[in-house]
Amino acid sequence: MAGSGTPQPKRPNPPRQEQKNLRKPLQVMHISRKEEVQASTVKSSEIVEKEEPNQKSSSKLKSTKSVLSPLKPSEVESSNQLKDFTSQAKDEISMEDLLAKENFQSKNQFVSQDFNSDSFLERTVDDFDFDEDAFLAALDENEPIGNTGEIAKGSVIEVESDGVYVDIGGKAPGFMPKSECGLGVITNLKEKFPKGLEVEVLVTREQNADGMVTISCRALALRKSWDKVLMLAKEAKVVEVKVNGFNRGGLTCDLEGLRGFIPRSHLNQGENYESLVGKNISVAFLEVTPDNRKLILSEKKAVTAAKFAQLEIGQLVEGEIIAVKPYGFFVDLGGISGLLHQSMITNGSLRSLREVFNQGDKVKALITDLDPTRGRIGLNTALLEGIPGEIIIEKDKVLNEAEERAKKAQSLLQVKEEETK
């Protein structure tokens, strides 16, 4: 009874009824090419056996013709194999041979009915139409114009708000952005670059997919400015610049469109250097490095460079000995110093430098070496001697007759220079 504590026996599960109309599994048809080939071979052999001998031979000839069908270009490489196959077909052709031929042709899809393998193998390059001049002309026509770093010339064909288009002879015109149209600020592009204006530009980027290159007037102007500044520095020239700014380290200026810097320690007025803004001063070159865009100038060195410009090889100069060194004397020449080396004092035997000169003595000497870039001046008193060691014995006589003796020495120096050339 319900509610009693006795457990109820478990009832067995009723047997499952068989499901009717169960879905049968999908039947997969297996197609075997091998069985199909074998079946077709058996059928063909039975047909051939029933045929009469004449008909059998005619069928062999037909099969041979089908086997000897025109070759494709890709089959030329296997021409020897096909010849062997053809010779075998003349003797006996079976369905296996036909099927092999059929499979061989199925792998090569490009078939030409009028193809002759023998004529193809015999053809050479001369049989094809080829014009070398036309080929080279086509290469020149399609050759890209304007490699990076090259200078190109062209004419302005269009001016837009963001830049200028210049015809430089390529498939597409060169484009010059507004920021690359020149040094400084340009307010009116159309006024500075009218149509038809001939310009010289520098290619800064090679052509893109459309054949257009990027060009610049500014980059070309900067390159020319650096080349000119390098030449001036090499010749130790003194140039005039306009000061346009200052900072804690010194002054800034403009030289040939380049930004130069003058350190405070190289100014003649180091205390009130701010007052030089807007003024022109003469400077010389301390460092010129185009790769780093470094241009450092010096006002103090300009004084030295200006004096170097007044000197030349063979010139007789007068100065005061300001220092005695083991290797020679340093002579003050009025703001710049020259070196009278011990080997250039006399042609005689010199035991001590002080046998000839001491600090504070006046001396006359010839310039035999001049290097403005390094600031070096080489002096010589041995050329003023008449006999070796004369300046040691009769120093005053040699110095008093220095002008006359210098003329003879200068002629000798000129002869030496001509011989070296």
CATH code at position 162: 2.40.50.140
At 412, the pLDDT band (50, 70, 90 cuts) reads confident
Based on the fold, state whether residues 248 and 301 are members of the same structural domain: yes
Q: What is the pLDDT of residue 110?
A: 44
Rounded Cα distance between 218 and 92, Å, is 86
Mean local confidence (pLDDT), 329-342: 92
The parent domain of residue 149 ranges over 142-221
Mean local confidence (pLDDT), 189-212: 85
Based on the fold, state whether residues 318 and 398 are members of the same structural domain: yes
- Specify which of 51-60, 75-84, 202-211, 355-364 reaches the highest per-range mean pLDDT: 355-364
Which residue has better confidence, 41 or 361?
A: 361
Total count of domains within the chain: 3
| pLDDT mean across residues, the chain | 76
Q: What is the pLDDT of residue 283?
A: 93
Has residue 110 been placed in a domain? no
Based on the fold, state whether residues 371 and 324 are members of the same structural domain: yes
Query: Which residue, 221, 246, 263, sits at the end of a domain?
Result: 221
Has residue 87 been placed in a domain? no
Q: What is the pLDDT of residue 237?
A: 86
Phi, psi (deg, nearest 5) at residue 23: -75, 125
pTM equals: 0.51
Based on the fold, state whether residues 367 and 321 are members of the same structural domain: yes
Has residue 16 been placed in a domain? no
Mean local confidence (pLDDT), 203-227: 86
Rounded Cα distance between 421 and 417, Å, is 6
In this model, does residue 253 exceed pLDDT 70? Answer: yes
Cβ atoms of residues 234 and 218 within 8 Å: no
Cβ atoms of residues 161 and 176 within 8 Å: no
Residues contacting residue 257 through CB under 8 Å, at least 6 positions apart: 183, 184, 221, 222, 225
In this model, does residue 62 exceed pLDDT 50? Answer: no
Cβ atoms of residues 165 and 155 within 8 Å: no
Q: What is the pLDDT of residue 324?
A: 93
Q: What is the pLDDT of residue 68?
A: 43
Based on the fold, state whether residues 296 and 321 are members of the same structural domain: no
Q: What is the pLDDT of residue 373?
A: 75
Mean local confidence (pLDDT), 153-170: 88
Has residue 399 been placed in a domain? yes
Mean local confidence (pLDDT), 206-217: 81
In this model, does residue 233 exceed pLDDT 50? Answer: yes
Q: What is the pLDDT of residue 119?
A: 47
Q: What is the pLDDT of residue 227?
A: 93
Has residue 39 been placed in a domain? no
Q: What is the pLDDT of residue 183?
A: 82
Query: Which residue, 258, 281, 305, sits at the end of a domain?
Result: 305
Based on the fold, state whether residues 158 and 172 are members of the same structural domain: yes
Rounded Cα distance between 345 and 392, Å, is 9
Mean local confidence (pLDDT), 290-299: 92
Rounded Cα distance between 331 and 317, Å, is 10
Based on the fold, state whether residues 334 and 406 are members of the same structural domain: yes
Based on the fold, state whether residues 152 and 246 are members of the same structural domain: no
Amino acid at 202: L
In this model, does residue 334 exceed pLDDT 70? Answer: yes
Based on the fold, state whether residues 336 and 394 are members of the same structural domain: yes
Has residue 146 been placed in a domain? yes
Query: Which residue, 259, 287, 305, sits at the end of a domain?
Result: 305
Has residue 359 been placed in a domain? yes
Has residue 252 been placed in a domain? yes
